[in-house]
Amino acid sequence: MSGSAAPIWAADPFPLYQQARKPRTDDRRAAVRGFVLYLKKERVYGILALDTGWKVGDMMQEEKRKPDFERKHEEDLQRIRNFRLMDDDFMSKVFEDKACAEFLLRIILNREDLTVQEVHGQHDLKNLQGRSVRLDILALDQEKRAYNIEVQRSDRGAGAKRARYNSSLLDANLTQTGGAYDALNETYVIFITEHDVLRRNLPIYHVNRIIEETGEAFEDEAHIIYVNSQIKNETALGKLMHDFSCTDPKEMNYPILAQRVRYFKEDAKGVTTMCRAMEDMRNETVHENAIEIAKRLLASGKMNDKEIAEMVKLPVEEIEALDHKKSA
């Protein structure tokens, strides 16, 4: 291109430029995008700023990011198609619906009179150190009994001490400060496990404290239940475990669950909800990893708060708060 030639982005053969100069509108944004694609086609690169306020360089970077976004989106859609109720992220969305949670608990506890008043999916509780622990499902019934329902594909995640820990979390978080001990809620920690964790080939295990010398129930109202998803038979519980293993709602036994699963797998709004939830979880994981790196850097004492904030891409105020907590 000679020095006297008009710049390629201002030439008459490129009509989108004139559209891109108009006030900010969706049409104008589309025009800028078209302008960027034209520049790419003509192999014109670099940061070009229109006198309209849009930075073409930024738009070019956006175009480069699109394939990565589309790849992640397609991966998310494939994951959603393969989800089962044994996958905790998916299970939490399905059973945060009160009717579904109530249906689940009625079958597991064999109690038709149970009514769920409140339910939360992916619910955070604080432990004694002030750290958050996330429960798959937390539900309360009409008698204020509390239910923590977890799906566990790994045997390690459903061990006896994990059950004890979750039970203690319920007690610590559901009791009012200074409240009487006899005001403690009756609690149920329920593990639905991929494998037969207790290895007795039973469909369900009820764990309650007893007085060893007499064999009588201790009656502290803290219950632990293991449901073995390997046993799929014609009982109500066996049919439920079949449904927990299905990826296709058409193969499920219970319409109330199939309808909810179908919503998140096939309905446009439901799929969007799941994709958004998965993106939120990804972002949260990135944030948690950044926090852990920041803690290690603070412990090393080799960098100041501002330097750490720049390295891990967190606000300096968040790093300062971590530093203050470390020093306390």
Chunked into runs of 10 residues, the chain (328 residues) has average pLDDT values of 41 42 51 49 39 46 59 82 94 96 98 96 82 89 96 89 93 72 89 96 97 95 97 98 97 98 94 86 80 85 84 85 74
DSSP state of 197: T
SS3 125: strand
pLDDT computed for residue 20 by the predictor: 44
Radius of gyration of the chain measured on its C-alpha atoms: 28
Strand partners, 123: 135
pLDDT computed for residue 278 by the predictor: 80
> In the chain, where are the structural domains located?
8-80, 88-266, 277-327
pLDDT computed for residue 298 by the predictor: 84
Q: Report the interhelical angle of 88-95 vs 98-109 (nearest 10°).
A: 110
Picking from 88, 200, 199, the residue whose alpha carbon sits closest to that of residue 148 is: 88
State the residue for tokens 């850097």.
Answer: 297
- Helices (H), ranges, the chain: 16-20, 26-41, 56-82, 88-95, 98-109, 160-174, 236-244, 255-266, 268-300, 305-312, 316-327
Phi and psi dihedrals of 228, rounded to 5? -90, 105
pLDDT computed for residue 17 by the predictor: 43
Q: Which two tokens stand for residue 273?
A: 């909800």
pLDDT computed for residue 10 by the predictor: 40
pLDDT computed for residue 9 by the predictor: 38
Residue 223 neighbours by CB under 8 Å, 6+ apart: 186, 187, 188, 189, 206, 207, 208
How far apart are alpha carbons 115 and 141 in whole angstroms? 5
Q: Are 179 and 138 in contact (CB under 8 A)?
A: no
Calculate the CA dihedral of residues 24, 28, 33, 34 and round it to 10 degrees. -160
How far apart are alpha carbons 226 and 210 in whole angstroms? 18
Q: Which two tokens stand for residue 175?
A: 């009791």
Residue 326: count of CB within 10 angstroms of its CB: 10
pLDDT computed for residue 319 by the predictor: 85
State the residue for tokens 């530093």.
Answer: 323
SS3 177: coil
The verdict on pTM exceeding 0.75 is no
State the residue for tokens 């203050």.
Answer: 324
Residue 269: count of CB within 10 angstroms of its CB: 9
pLDDT computed for residue 179 by the predictor: 59
String of b and e for 52-71 (b: at least 16 CB within 10 Å)? bebebeebbeeeeeeeeeee
Residue 227: count of CB within 10 angstroms of its CB: 23
For β-strands 132-141 and 146-152, DSSP reports them as antiparallel
Residue 324 neighbours by CB under 8 Å, 6+ apart: none
